[in-house]
Chain A
Amino acid sequence: MKQLLVLSGKGGTGKTTIVASFIHLLKAKAFADCDVDAPNLHLVTSMKSIPRKTDYYGLDKAIIDEAICIGCGKCMANCRFNAISELNGTYTVNPYSCEGCSVCEVICPVGAIEMNQDIAGELNLYKDQAVFSTATLKMGSGTSGKLVTEVKTALTTGIKTNIENGIFDKVDVAVIDGSPGIGCPVIASISGVDLILVVTEPTVSGLSDMKRVIEIANFFKIQVAICTNKFDVNLDKTESIKEYAKENNLSYVGVIPYDPQVAIAINKGINVMEDSSQAAKYIQDVFNNTMELIN
C-alpha cells in the first residue's frame, strides 16, 4: 500500500478540496484526516457507517488538592511553563498550560499534587466500503503529534479489519489530508509516507511557507511533488514556484485555476470532480501526474 500525504505549509491553499477530489478519482478505499487541530475532510466525505469513537489521552495534567496544600509556593516557583498561579492563597494549575512534566507533584512537600489522565480529544474510525480515520483535538490541547499517529494507526487497523472481513482485497493508495504549518502534527503525519504532495498558492506567503514545509520533508528524505492552486491569481509567482521546483529537483505536477464554483459545490455537498467546474479538468491532470509518481 502506498501512502500519499497532502501538505501545504500555508493554510487555505486547498489541501482538503484536493484530497476530496483524489479520493473520488481513486475511488479510494482508505483515507485519513491528520489535520487534527481543524479537521475538515469529514465534511466532504459521505460515510454511511457510525464511526467507532475512541477517547484520546494526552499528557497527564497536574491538579492541586486545596485541602492538603500548605501554600508554600514551591510548585509555582518551579513550574517552567507558568502553569501554576496563586490567588488569595489558593494555588491552581491551568490545564491548558500544564505539560504534564510532574515536577510540581514531586516537589510538593505535602503530596498535595496529583497527575491525572486527561482526555484531550476523540478518534473516529469509519469502516464502510472504505476506511476513514479522523480525530478532533480538544481546544487548547497540545499533543497533536501523538493524536496524528493514532489516526494513522487506526487507519492501518481499519484496513486490516476490512480485508479480514472481505470488504476489499487490498488498498493501493491511501490518501492523507495533512495540516498546515510545520509543527508536530505535520511531522507525525510524515512517517511511513511514500509521497508528499505540497499544494501551494502563488503568493509571497504561499511560497515562503511552502519552502519551510519542504525543508521538513527533505529532512525525512521523502519524495516531494508540488502543485499550484489558484494559479491564475498571479502568473509571475506561479512561474517562480515552477522554477523553484526545477531548481530543487522536485516534481511539478500541475496547476489549478481559482474557481468560485469550487466553493459553491463544496457548500452544496457536491464533489468538485462531479461538478463541471473549470478546476475539475486541471485537478484530473494533477491527479494523473501524482499517481504516475507514486506508482
Chain B
Amino acid sequence: MKLLIPANEENIEAGICVSFGRAPYFLIWDTEKGNARFIENSGASSSGGAGIKVAQDVVDQKVDVLIVPRIGKNASDVIDASNIAIFKSINENVMETIQSMLDGKLEVLTDIHPGFHNHGDK
C-alpha cells in the first residue's frame, strides 16, 4: 500500500506540512517495500486552485492513502472521486505519522475546510 504525506522538507525526519496544497514536498511511503520517495509539489506555486492541481498530481501518483492534518474542499473532492482514502494525522513529523498509520492509530478525516480561495483574479 502506498501512503502519501505532505512534508516540510525532503527528509524522513521532516515535519508534516499543515497545508496540503502548498506543501513543498510529498513523501510517498511504500508499506510493502518499506521505502520512501520524495517528490516536489509542483502545484504549490499555482496562483489559484492549488488544491485541485496538487490533488490531480497526487492521484496521478497512484497512491492508496493520503494522510494530512487538514484538507480543503476542492482538493478533497478530487481525492474522493479517485477513491484514495484520506486519514487525519496526529503527529508532528512524517516518520511518526507513518508509524501511527501502521499501528492502526489513525482515523478517517471527516472535517473538510472550505478552502483558501486564493485564486489569481481581479
Contacts and interface: CB of A to CB of B under 8 A. Distances in A.
B54 to A, nearest CB: 14
A115 to B, nearest CB: 12
Contact of B120 (A145, A187, A220): A145
Contacts of A146: 47-48, 118-120
A253 interface: no
B116 A142 contact: no
Nearest to A141: B122
Contacts of B22: 153
Given A142-B122, A145-B120, A146-B119, A58 B47 contact: yes
Interface in B76-122: 113-122
A275 to B, nearest CB: 37
A67 B31 CA distance: 57
A149 interface: yes
A149 B122 contact: no
Contact of B122 (A99, A148, A187): A99
A188 B118 contact: yes
Contact of B114 (A153, A188, A220): A220
Interface residues of B, number: 13
A149 B116 contact: yes
B114 to A, nearest CB: 5
Contacts of A188: 116-118
B68 to A, nearest CB: 15
A188 B121 CA distance: 12
A149 B118 contact: yes
Contacts of B121: 99, 142-143, 145, 184
Interface in A129-180: 142-143, 145-146, 148-149, 153
Given A143-B47, A146-B47, A153-B22, A191 B116 contact: yes
A58 B120 CA distance: 7
A221 B48 CA distance: 22
Nearest to B116: A191
A145 B49 CA distance: 12
A65 B81 CA distance: 42
Contacts of A11: none
Contacts of A187: 116-118
A138 to B, nearest CB: 13
A142 B120 contact: yes
A58 B122 CA distance: 11
A153 B117 CA distance: 14
Interface in B21-69: 22, 47-48
Contacts of A221: 114
Interface string A91-118: 0000000011000000000000000000
A145 B48 contact: yes
Given A145-B121, A184-B118, A188-B118, 16 more contacts: A58-B47, A99-B120, A99-B121, A100-B120, A142-B121, A145-B48, A145-B117, A148-B118, A149-B116, A149-B118, A153-B22, A187-B116, A187-B118, A191-B113, A191-B118, A221-B114
Interface of B: 22, 47-48, 113-122
